[in-house]
Amino acid sequence: MAVELTPAQVLALVPQQAPFRFVDEILEVDADHIVGRYTFRPDEGFYAGHFPGNPVTPGVILLESMCQVGVVAQGIWLLALEVDPTEVSRWTTMFSDATVEFSKPVRPGERVTIRGAKTFWRRRKLQARIEMFNESGELVASCVASGMGVRA
């Protein structure tokens, strides 16, 4: 009995939690794409050391945010089409690989929009092309990332 989850249901099923959840909302999701947002709060712990006096969001955190939307959340939506809704929460997405390019820094307080496009989904492995944009619509990072759904 598969279902199409709402954006709010998908967000509720994302396993990462504060202080390691880097997605505030899912705006759109379907079989081929997903759009989410996150605001990098000025009090996030990593800014204290990266870099004092001139804080910049670490690239690995940008990649994590892109993967939480474009691989984890999209994977949850796709999995719900294949398994009973009660089973979805028993699965988790394990990150497997990424190729990433950074174009602009993201500073404390900036809100970003993440857009993911499914490249393939088979045997519970998802690969997606994911882009992150700042509030001015400028590309700040892009990647091709993959993850595999495993039963927890």
- Residues serving a catalytic function are 50
3-state secondary structure 85-125: HHHHCCEEEEEEEEEEEECCCCCCCCEEEEEEEEEEEECCE
Per the CB < 8 A criterion, the answer to whether 132 and 142 are in contact is: yes
What six digits make up the tokens of 29? 């999701």
Q: Helix, strand, or coil here: 39?
A: strand
Which residues, at least 6 apart from 105, have a Cβ–Cβ distance to it below 8 Å? 56, 57, 140
